[in-house]
């Protein structure tokens, strides 16, 4: 098993948390998104993931090789294949609500602040750094305001229920990201409490950007 990752990628960070929670330890292959014009655009990586985005997951055995992209589809696959530590409950409605929060982050917040989008804003649209920061904060704040309501039933430890789920795998990287852009977390007390609690757990600590080999 191999995970193609970049220490700061939110999407890779989600998968790293899930792997740690499930006790899986794949080979970690760093792909530097900035150096050399972005190693995700190399012919080698393009073969693995034609979208040229991080992460990618590869399983090899004697018979065949299986390559999978998209962080949430990797999470669903790990959940089906390694169900012992469950990151989704059995109840259909609870599963659905957890997926909805995960997708609110993965579809409505994160893609707008992805590196390639920020590069387009600077390089093609020539907007100022100040405008870019305003853009970045706007989508996080819009998303967090709604998330704070969606998480109103959280116990302040995890997004849903008494254990970590897909939603926590998505939320913690997004908050890490928001803090880099100095978002005031005190405006979102549920999100802040969940972030603080999850980061007391080794599965989350060991998935953090600064704990990765390529963070140096």
37 binds its own copies per the rule CB under 8 A: no
Instruction: Give Cα 170 to chain centroid, integer Å.
Output: 5
Among 17-25, 49-57, 185-193, 200-208, the segment contacting its own copies (CB under 8 A): 49-57
52 binds its own copies per the rule CB under 8 A: yes
- In the complex, least distance from residue 173 CB atom to its own copies, rounded to whole angstroms: 14
73 binds its own copies per the rule CB under 8 A: yes
List CB contacts of 53: < 8 A, sequence separation 6 or more.
11, 40, 69, 116
70 binds its own copies per the rule CB under 8 A: yes
153 binds its own copies per the rule CB under 8 A: no
80 binds its own copies per the rule CB under 8 A: yes
41 binds its own copies per the rule CB under 8 A: no
Concatenate the DSSP letters of all residues of 98-111 into one string.
Answer: HHHHHHIIIIIIGG
- In the complex, least distance from residue 70 CB atom to its own copies, rounded to whole angstroms: 4
- In the complex, least distance from residue 145 CB atom to its own copies, rounded to whole angstroms: 7
Among 2-10, 91-99, 175-183, 186-194, the segment contacting its own copies (CB under 8 A): 91-99
How many alpha carbons fall within 13 Å on the CB side of residue 58? 16
What is the distance between the alpha carbons of residues 39 and 202, in angstroms, rounded to a whole number? 29
What is the distance between the alpha carbons of residues 154 and 42, in angstroms, rounded to a whole number? 42
62 binds its own copies per the rule CB under 8 A: no
- In the complex, least distance from residue 19 CB atom to its own copies, rounded to whole angstroms: 15
Q: Which of 85, 115, 117, 185 binds its own copies (CB under 8 A)?
A: 117
Q: Which of 12, 21, 31, 74 binds its own copies (CB under 8 A)?
A: 74
> Nearest 5 degrees, angle CA 211-CA 15-CA 13?
40
36 binds its own copies per the rule CB under 8 A: no
- In the complex, least distance from residue 72 CB atom to its own copies, rounded to whole angstroms: 6
Q: Which of 127, 185, 193, 208 binds its own copies (CB under 8 A)?
A: 127
Q: Residue 55 or 209: which CB sits closer to its own copies?
A: 55
What is the distance between the alpha carbons of residues 183 and 123, in angstroms, rounded to a whole number? 25
Pairing of strands 65-69, 56-60: antiparallel
Instruction: Give Cα 155 to chain centroid, integer Å.
Output: 22
What is the distance between the alpha carbons of residues 107 and 115, in angstroms, rounded to a whole number? 15
Please give the structure tokens belonging to residue 101.
């929060």
Neighbours of 160 (CB within 10 A): 23
């Amino acid at each position: 098993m191999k995970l193609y990752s970049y220490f700061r990628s939110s999407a890779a960070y989600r998968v790293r948390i899930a792997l740690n929670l499930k006790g899986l330890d794949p080979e970690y292959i760093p792909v530097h998104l900035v150096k050399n014009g972005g190693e995700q655009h190399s012919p080698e990586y393009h073969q693995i993931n034609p979208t040229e985005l991080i992460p990618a997951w590869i399983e090899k055995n004697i018979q065949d090789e299986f390559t999978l992209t998209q962080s949430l589809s990797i999470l669903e696959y790990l959940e089906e294949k390694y169900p012992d530590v469950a990151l989704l409950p059995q109840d259909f409605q609870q599963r659905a609500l957890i997926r909805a929060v995960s997708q609110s982050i993965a579809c409505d917040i994160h893609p707008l602040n992805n590196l390639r989008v920020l590069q387009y804003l600077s390089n093609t649209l020539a907007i100022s750094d100040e405008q870019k920061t305003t853009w970045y904060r706007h989508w996080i704040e819009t998303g967090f305001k709604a998330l704070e309501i969606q998480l109103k039933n959280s116990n302040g430890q995890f997004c849903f229920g008494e254990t970590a789920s897909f939603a926590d795998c998505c939320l913690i990287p997004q908050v890490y990201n928001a803090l880099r852009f100095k978002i005031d977390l005190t405006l979102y007390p549920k999100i802040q409490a969940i972030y603080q609690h999850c980061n007391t757990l080794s599965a989350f600590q060991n998935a953090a950007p600064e704990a990765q080999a390529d963070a140096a």
